[in-house]
Structure 1
Amino acid sequence: MNRLPRRRFLLATGLATGAAALAATAAGCGTGSAGGPAADTATPRPGGRLRAVFAGGGTSETLDPHLTNLFVDAARAKALFDKLADYGSDLSAVPRLAESWEPNAALDTWTVRLRRAAFHDGRPVTAEDVLFSYRRIADPKRAFRARSSLEPIDLGASRAVDPSTVEFRLKRPYAEFPNVLATFGAYIVPNGTEDFTAPVGSGPFRFTSFTPGTSLLLARNPDYWEGAPHLEALELLVANEESARVSALLGGQAEYAHEVNPATARAHGGKGRMEVVRLPGSAMQGFVMKTDRPPFDDPRVRQAFLLIADRKELVDGALSGAGEIGNDLFGKGCQYYPAGLPQRTRDLEKARALLREAGAENLRVTLDTSPVAAGFVEAAGIFRDQAAEAGVTVEVRIGNKDTYWKDILDGGTFASYRSGAMPIESHISQRLLSSSTANATHWRKPDFDELYAQAQATRDPAARTALYERMQRRLHAEGGFLIWGFADWIVATAPAVRGVVKDAPANTLDWARFDRLWLT
């Protein structure tokens, strides 16, 4: 069969559709610094059209920002819409549409004041828009990812004090409520909006056209509250294979390529055709074990698997050494991370003993994985070989890239996983409480839920830190996350691109800030 050369193929297909890449990646907690692939001391130059290429989700893609799940979804949503807050590069909540927030003494009522901002059709962003958006997200009949994060809010009792002031009544004290305002997917849409075929937001770019799985074309919003973008137009393209994204960049079909692997960065970076931006230790990499299903409903089996993993071999092999080892906990280096916990190391003798105690000798398990994310298939193969040394047979099953994340949330027992930038508190609330809708390990412990609630009712930071440490020590000993590494996150740009912010983990404020970029 005759095949088009790669470059002609991309031109013919408009950058192919297909696999999804979960927009839950970088877990880094470094401080951001302005700059890009070249020194950004020059005066920004207005105009031009920038084409950015991401992995996508196929023809089922939507511009409903409350259905945001993939990196490309998040990039589209933040170009078109705004949240009340977003995460800074240190993962603290930074005001966006919210100009300020203030709690009452009991930490169960928060007053949020809105800045002056307008939707693309000229209507002002009001408190009623905020309440509609949050009530839509919180609707139990819908499957919006941010729903569990909004659960602490009593939206029936919350009210618009005036057009620019929202009073959020909470079901219980919540010391870190601003994290809710910044939560992934909690975008503000105009009151009553249900049709997103030609969305109207308050973001830096306005809708022009959209072909699901292929391209979103946007135009600059000259009236954006934070200042008009430098670019005249932005096009977000889809190419699921990393090689296709890189070919688009090198072939002049794109100026920004998201998610480049280390080998590519080494091969092409610094040679005049591609500039590389590295975000060290940004992407949490690991496996999830379903804690409510055999064989992982036995904590001894989970502990054995934690001891089977050779983390350095996984980082070196699956990440080409571009990262650091993990210790089975999320958010390395973040606030509340228990850095004093000893690093877990490989211990095959103890792992075998635990499996014998559990009656799980000669265990066979299926490990679900997919080329949906860099290093997944490689890590699965490496762990399969590591497990064989402990007498465990791991059968690697390659899943559908388009449905992988949905499939592993409730299906299977053991799967490749990675997670995204958020505070440790948000990771717990979204993925580890009994009510969490993104609970891939099925960790549902009422006493753990109570510790989390106690932490949120605790005003004293030192006491709250102690509660978080108790929770994380338990997760380290009994949980279903095998977190073997933290990968460098890499994006690449054409040499003409300026304004890229370094050290900004994915899904934080300065990640994919296309309104701040310009072309020389």
Structure 2
Amino acid sequence: MFQTIHFLYNFSTNSLDPHVDSSYVPLRAGITETLIRLDEENLSIEPWLAESWDGEDGQNWTIKLREDVKFQNGKQMDAESVKKSLERALKENVAIQNALKIDTISADGFTLTIKTTEPFPEFISELVNPNVAIIDVSEEDFVNKPVGTGPFKLASFTPGSKLELERFDDYWDGTSKLDSVTFAFNEDANARTLALKSGQTDIVYRPEVESLDSLKEDSKMKVESTATFRVHQLTMNMQREEMKDINVRKALDALIDRQKIVDEILLGHAETARGPFLPSLAFAPTYDKRETGSDEAVKHLEKAGYTLKDGKMQKDGKQLIMSMKMLLTRLCYIHQQSLLTTKIKWKTGLRLRANTT
């Protein structure tokens, strides 16, 4: 019996170039793989296309590759093909250059020798990045048809719409039980939920939060929810003169009602953040308790030299006005922006211009 599934994802992409695609669709869709991967249960790194590695001094690394891996065009993956793939990633992606800090790469059979520009013990862990996925660079249509080593090869790609995938029968880690997969995109959470309920798709990533209870009540549906590393954060532009004052930044921080966001916008499917990492993680630092609220924000602004006059927070006769951008495609972000904007306007006299992209 022919086995196929339809998967609906929340981010669309117009390019499948794994070395620059920021949505990581080629890896998520099973087209590409990296040398190293993250064991999500133990939060440790483990071999994937690499078999082992050594780098005692943190600068000179030897990576032994698996010898049973083929690209989806039938060519064998060896050290030379991996070297060329890594070199292309470094050339095409400045962020990867900065992350890997590679000085030289040499290849011999199934062994890579890499030297970093400085002692860098974290080097191996950086190789989990999807933008260093290994592809056959002799196949030059990187945008529309990358050739990787994963369990599925690309049959067709409609930019911004979907990928059609076929099982790769010579996959090194065991042939998939699925014959094909349709990996489609829809950035509207409500539309994704409706597609699932109507049977148009089999699996939906990030359905509308408000729909989760009704999905759980449907005996034909299975809802899986798990803690992730994703953090909703407000990034402050330190190039702006006002934001260079730590008291202004502290005022904005004090205005964020994290618990209200968790309870009313994310409907309990999150936990309040004290920093960028879950407090349950072993490496998460501890933070001193910070006072929050509008009154606390006003105190910080007063320390920065601002006064509340005629309902406006101002300094030298000029009102403090800020601009905040949010992704239009994420409704929960828009709601968070609205909550913060209202609180700022009515409680502090600070004006916030809301923009969406």
- TM-score under structure 2 length normalisation: 0.89
Where does residue 110 of structure 1 map in the other structure?
Answer: 61
1:92 aligns with 2:48: no
Cα gap change, 1:88/1:47 in structure 2, threshold over 3 Å: closer, same or farther? Answer: farther
Where does residue 65 of structure 1 map in the other structure?
Answer: 18
SS in 2 for 1:101: strand
Distance in structure 2 (CA, Å) of the matches to 1:99 and 1:72 = 24
Amino acid at match of 1:52: F
Question: Larger relative CO (CA 8 A, sep 6+): 1 or 2?
Answer: 1
1:239 aligns with 2:209: no
SS in 1 for 2:130: coil
Cα gap change, 1:330/1:146 in structure 2, threshold over 3 Å: closer, same or farther? Answer: farther
Q: Give the C-alpha shift of residue 191 in structure 1.
A: 4.0
Distance in structure 2 (CA, Å) of the matches to 1:47 and 1:384 = 52
Q: Deviations over 1:273-299 (max 9, x none)?
A: 321010135531121111222321222
SS in 2 for 1:235: strand
Q: Deviations over 1:73-97 (max 9, x none)?
A: 5523xx1111101112143222110
Q: Give the C-alpha shift of residue 144 in structure 1.
A: 5.7
Distance in structure 2 (CA, Å) of the matches to 1:344 and 1:369 = 25
Aligned residues: 342
Distance in structure 2 (CA, Å) of the matches to 1:230 and 1:94 = 24
Q: Give the C-alpha shift of residue 184 in structure 1.
A: 3.1
Alignment counterpart, residue 338 of structure 2, candidates 360, 381, 385: 381
1:342 aligns with 2:294: no
Distance in structure 1 (CA, Å) of the matches to 2:343 and 2:27 = 35
Alignment counterpart, residue 126 of structure 2, candidates 156, 180, 184: 180
Could you tell me whether the CA contact under 8 Å between 1:56 and 1:238 is conserved in 2? yes
Distance in structure 2 (CA, Å) of the matches to 1:95 and 1:158 = 19
Where does residue 248 of structure 1 map in the other structure?
Answer: 195
SS in 1 for 2:339: helix
Alignment counterpart, residue 102 of structure 2, candidates 143, 149, 153: 153
Could you tell me whether the CA contact under 8 Å between 2:19 and 2:93 is conserved in 1? no
Where does residue 267 of structure 1 map in the other structure?
Answer: 214
1:48 aligns with 2:6: no
Cα gap change, 1:263/1:367 in structure 2, threshold over 3 Å: closer, same or farther? Answer: same
Structure with the greater alpha carbon radius of gyration: 2
Alignment counterpart, residue 304 of structure 1, candidates 229, 251, 260: 251
Distance in structure 2 (CA, Å) of the matches to 1:62 and 1:144 = 18
1:8-407 counterparts in 2 under 5 A? 47-57=2-12, 61-70=14-23, 72=25, 74-76=27-29, 79-89=30-40, 90-104=42-56, 106-116=57-67, 117-139=69-91, 142-143=92-93, 145-150=95-100, 152-154=101-103, 157-160=104-107, 162-196=108-142, 197-280=144-227, 282-338=229-285, 340-361=286-307, 362=313, 363-388=320-345, 389-399=347-357
| Unaligned 5+ runs, structure 2 | 308-312, 314-319
Cα gap change, 1:371/1:343 in structure 2, threshold over 3 Å: closer, same or farther? Answer: farther
Distance in structure 2 (CA, Å) of the matches to 1:72 and 1:318 = 27
Could you tell me whether the CA contact under 8 Å between 1:54 and 1:72 is conserved in 2? no
Where does residue 18 of structure 1 map in the other structure?
Answer: none
Cα gap change, 1:270/1:72 in structure 2, threshold over 3 Å: closer, same or farther? Answer: farther
Could you tell me whether the CA contact under 8 Å between 1:268 and 1:274 is conserved in 2? yes
CA RMSD of aligned residues (A): 2.0
Where does residue 32 of structure 1 map in the other structure?
Answer: none
Cα gap change, 1:49/1:343 in structure 2, threshold over 3 Å: closer, same or farther? Answer: farther
Q: Deviations over 1:284-322 (max 9, x none)?
A: 112111122232122221122112222111212221222
Cα gap change, 1:223/1:243 in structure 2, threshold over 3 Å: closer, same or farther? Answer: same
Q: Deviations over 1:12-57 (max 9, x none)?
A: xxxxxxxxxxxxxxxxxxxxxxxxxxxxxxxxxx841111011233
Q: Deviations over 1:113-152 (max 9, x none)?
A: 101211012211111122212211212xx346534322x2
Identity %: 26
Cα gap change, 1:107/1:145 in structure 2, threshold over 3 Å: closer, same or farther? Answer: closer
- TM-score under structure 1 length normalisation: 0.62
Could you tell me whether the CA contact under 8 Å between 1:132 and 1:192 is conserved in 2? no
